[in-house]
Structure 1
Amino acid sequence: MLNLFDAIPAHLDDEMFETLVIGEAMRVERIVSRGHTSPAQGWYDQPHHEWVLVLKGKGVVAFENGEPVTLAAGDYLTIPAHCRHRVAWTDPNEETVWLAVYYE
């Protein structure tokens, strides 16, 4: 048995991405942040849809053409393909654990 909150390092230099499941038209990742944000010089512009759920912690997802969305434990949102976005903030005092599902 595995647990999404296991094997989280005490110190994270960079955001941690771990693929949990991969299929023909989808991928599930665990992402762990602790004060991390997306690179300042760019936006994510993904060719697939993303459904993201915050399991623990807090984060802010900013959109190039829209208002930022603050997410806490239990909150989720769908980001359509090619909707330019970035992680603008995550809690620096505790890890934010995200579950991201990428699909076509």
Structure 2
Amino acid sequence: MKRALTTGNLFDPVVSADAGADAGEQVDALVEQAGVTIERIVSTGQASPPGFWYDSPRAEWVVLLSGAATLEFEGNAQPHPMKPGDHVLIEAHCRHRVAWTSDGEPSVWLAVYYPGGASS
């Protein structure tokens, strides 16, 4: 049985050039299967609200493909700046937030969420 291909380009624009940060962050689920989710996230100047922390029951591996961003992790005073190619593995229930994303160019993320913690 032939299956249809699902294709795309991670760098395709998601908002019109004149919309900018006012258009909001774009999150596209690319794959959702067997407890694994792969998302493309495009940020244009968005950050987590003050005092907000992500606390996911799933682990998350994220890579920044373009743009620039800074993550913060609860209990760690040092911010975690990211540039294209940087990736980080965030264990389940590791509280974190997006402190900053560039508003000069889109920050394109690829995020993989999966059950449990990291595997060796």
TM-score by length of structure 1 reads: 0.94
2:118 corresponding residue in structure 1: none
Work out which of the two has the higher radius of gyration on C-alpha atoms and give 1 or 2.
Answer: 2
Give the drift of 1:2.
1.2
2:79 corresponding residue in structure 1: 68
Give the drift of 1:36.
0.5
Give the drift of 1:92.
1.1
- Tell me the distance in 2 between the aligned counterparts of 1:78 and 1:68: 15
- Tell me the distance in 2 between the aligned counterparts of 1:39 and 1:103: 25
Amino acid in the other structure paired with 1:89: W
Number of equivalences: 104
Which stretch of structure 1 is more off in the superposition, 10-19 or 89-98?
10-19
Residues 3-27 of structure 1: CA deviation (Å, up to 9, x unaligned): 1011321224211111000111210
* Greater strand fraction, Structure 1 or Structure 2: 1
Of 63, 74, 78, 2:89 maps to 78
Equivalent pairs: percent with the same residue? 47
Q: Please report the RMSD computed on the Cα atoms of aligned residues, expressed in angstroms.
A: 1.1
Structure 1 segment 10-25 matched on structure 2, within 5 A: 10=17, 11=19, 12=21, 13-25=23-35
Identify unmatched segments of 5+ residues in structure 1: none
